[in-house]
Amino acid sequence: MKATLFTNGNLSLSGHPAADAVYVEDGRIVAVGSGKALALQLGGKDVARVDWDGAYVLPGLVDAHVHLGMHGMKLDMLDFSGMTSKEEMLRAVAQRAAVTPPGEWILGLNWNENEFSPPFAPGIAELDAVTDRHPVFLTRTCFHAYLGNSEAFRRAGVNEATPDFASGAYGRGPEGRLNGWIYEDAAAPFQAVQPEPDYAAKKNAVRRGILDALSLGLTAVHTEDLRLLGSVETMLRIHRELREEGLSFRTHQLLYYEFLQEVEALGLRAGQGDEWLRLGAVKLFADGAIGGRTALLEAPYSDASGTRGIAIHPQEALDGIVAAARKLGFPVAVHAIGDAAARMTLAAMASTPLPAGAALPDRFIHAQVLSRALVEQMRRLPLIADIQPRFVASDFPWVLERVGPERTEYLYAWKKLLQAGVVCAGGSDAPIEPLSPLLGLHAAITRRKPGERHAGYLPQEKLDTAEALALFTGGSAAAAGEAAERGRIQPGYWADFTVIDRNIGADPEALLQAKVKMTVVNGRTAYTAN
Is there a cis peptide before residue 459, judged by omega within 30 degrees of 0? no
pLDDT at 304: 95
Determine contact, residues 9/54, Cβ cutoff 8 Å.
Answer: yes
Within a 13 Å sphere around the CA of 352, how many CA atoms are in the beta-carbon half?
Answer: 18
118, pLDDT greater than 80: yes
Report which DSSP code applies to 454.
S
Indicate the residue type of 47: V
pLDDT at 412: 98
Average pLDDT over residues 505-516: 96
Average pLDDT over residues 402-406: 96
Backbone angles phi, psi at 10, to 5 degrees: -105, 110
pLDDT at 54: 96
pLDDT at 230: 95
Nearby residues of 356 by Cβ (< 8 Å), 6 or more positions away: none
Instruction: Please give the helix or strand (H or E) that residue 330 lies within, else none.
Output: none
Query: How far is Cα 225 from Cα 74, in angstroms, rounded to an integer?
Result: 13
Instruction: Please give the helix or strand (H or E) that residue 1 lies within, else none.
Output: none
User: What's the predicted TM-score (pTM) here?
Assistant: 0.89
Query: How far is Cα 127 from Cα 129, in angstroms, rounded to an integer?
Result: 5
Determine contact, residues 17/26, Cβ cutoff 8 Å.
Answer: no
Q: Which domains does the chain have, with CATH numbers?
A: 72-192 (3.10.310.70)
Considering only 36-50, 125-139, 306-320, which range has the smallest mean pLDDT? 36-50
Instruction: Please give the helix or strand (H or E) that residue 276 lies within, else none.
Output: none
Residue 47: CB atoms within 10 Å = 17
Average pLDDT over residues 87-94: 96
Question: pLDDT tens digits for 241-254?
Answer: 999 999 999 999 99
515 falls in which pLDDT band (50, 70, 90)? very high
pLDDT at 141: 86
Nearby residues of 339 by Cβ (< 8 Å), 6 or more positions away: 297, 298, 369, 370, 371, 374, 407
Is there a cis peptide before residue 135, judged by omega within 30 degrees of 0? no
Of 441, 440, 173, 398, the C-alpha closest to 303 is 398
Nearby residues of 473 by Cβ (< 8 Å), 6 or more positions away: 58, 59, 60, 61, 62, 486, 487, 488
pLDDT at 313: 97
Report which DSSP code applies to 369.
B
Query: How far is Cα 512 from Cα 218, in angstroms, rounded to an integer?
Result: 16
Question: pLDDT tens digits for 17-38?
Answer: 999 999 999 999 999 999 999 9
pLDDT at 176: 86
Average pLDDT over residues 277-295: 96
Average pLDDT over residues 29-48: 91
End-to-end alpha carbon distance in the chain: 29
437, pLDDT greater than 90: yes
150 falls in which pLDDT band (50, 70, 90)? very high
Question: pLDDT tens digits for 462-494?
Answer: 999 999 999 999 999 999 999 999 999 999 999
pLDDT at 395: 95
- Strands (E) in 264-379, as ranges, are 277-285, 332-336, 362-366
45, pLDDT greater than 80: no
Determine contact, residues 109/78, Cβ cutoff 8 Å.
Answer: yes
311, pLDDT greater than 90: yes
Instruction: Please give the helix or strand (H or E) that residue 214 lies within, else none.
Output: helix 199-215
- Cβ neighbourhood burial of 449 (10 Å; 0-12, 13-18, 19+): middle
Q: Average model confidence (pLDDT) for the chain?
A: 96
